[in-house]
């Protein structure tokens, strides 16, 4: 009897240790393959496995998407390709209505290739602007900023703070103008909302 209790305790400890190791990132087979001591322990080990697997899947999905919206809380205002008196041609990006001073983040990791006034070389209509180069011929642009907090050549991570929003340049009110481009320059923009949604981002 004494022997049996000891044996059970030892197996339970073993299982707990293995479950802890699993939480640290190892596979499920080590726990389930070891001969489970009781139904209760089996259930607890199985749900621990399920929880770890669900968390791993969520992290993997987030990493795969790898893109975020440039501001967190916003209302979509002027949309891509919209016609109107504010633009010399059609609207080249998506406007996110946010108060001046809102935290603006890199929609994806990359290298800052433009940062400054006069649209950082793309024209005064953009006000203070930033362009970030990503992989695969993709660039993101952020305009009408009140403050720029990065410099050319700086490497930024997805979601990293880069600026504060504002209303500089040709702007009817505080908002972030956001573009996805195929080159660093004006004239190469694609629909940024469609782009982000294709990356699995909720916009």
Chain residues that interact with Zn ion, rule: CB under 5 A: 93, 95, 177
- Residue 161, C-beta contacts closer than 8 angstroms, at least 6 positions apart: 103, 104, 105, 149
Question: In the bound complex, what is the minimum distance in angstroms from residue 178's beta carbon to Zn ion?
Answer: 8
Which residue has the closest beta carbon to Zn ion?
177
- Please, where are the H alpha helices in the chain? 2-23, 29-32, 39-65, 192-198
176 close to 165: Cβ distance less than 8 angstroms: yes
| Closest to Zn ion by CB, 86 or 155 | 86
Question: In the bound complex, what is the minimum distance in angstroms from residue 92's beta carbon to Zn ion?
Answer: 7
Q: What angle do CA 132, 202, 137 make, to 5 degrees?
A: 30
180: tokens are 């996805």
102 close to 178: Cβ distance less than 8 angstroms: no
Question: In the bound complex, what is the minimum distance in angstroms from residue 36's beta carbon to Zn ion?
Answer: 60
Question: In the bound complex, what is the minimum distance in angstroms from residue 95's beta carbon to Zn ion?
Answer: 4
| Closest to Zn ion by CB, 134 or 144 | 144
| Closest to Zn ion by CB, 114 or 177 | 177
| Closest to Zn ion by CB, 19 or 132 | 132
d(CA 16, CA 31): 9
């Amino acid at each position: 009897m004494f022997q049996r209790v000891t044996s059970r305790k030892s197996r339970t400890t073993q299982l707990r240790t293995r479950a802890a190791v699993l939480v640290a990132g190892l596979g499920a087979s080590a726990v389930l393959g070891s001969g489970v001591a009781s139904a209760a322990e089996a259930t607890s080990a199985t749900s621990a496995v399920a929880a770890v697997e669900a968390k791993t899947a969520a992290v993997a999905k987030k990493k795969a998407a790898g893109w975020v919206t440039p501001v967190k809380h916003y209302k979509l205002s002027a949309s891509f390709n919209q016609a109107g008196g504010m633009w010399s041609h059609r609207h080249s990006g998506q406007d996110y209505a946010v108060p001046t001073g809102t935290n603006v983040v890199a929609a994806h990791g990359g290298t800052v290739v433009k940062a400054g006034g006069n649209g950082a070389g793309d024209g005064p209509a953009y006000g203070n602007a930033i362009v970030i180069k990503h992989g695969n011929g993709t660039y993101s642009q952020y305009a009408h900023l009140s403050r720029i907090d990065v410099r050319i050549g700086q490497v930024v991570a997805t979601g990293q703070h880069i600026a504060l929003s504002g209303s500089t340049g040709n702007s009817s009110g505080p908002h972030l103008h956001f573009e996805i481009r195929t080159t660093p320059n004006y004239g190469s923009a694609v629909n940024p909302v469609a782009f982000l949604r294709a990356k699995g981002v909720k916009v």
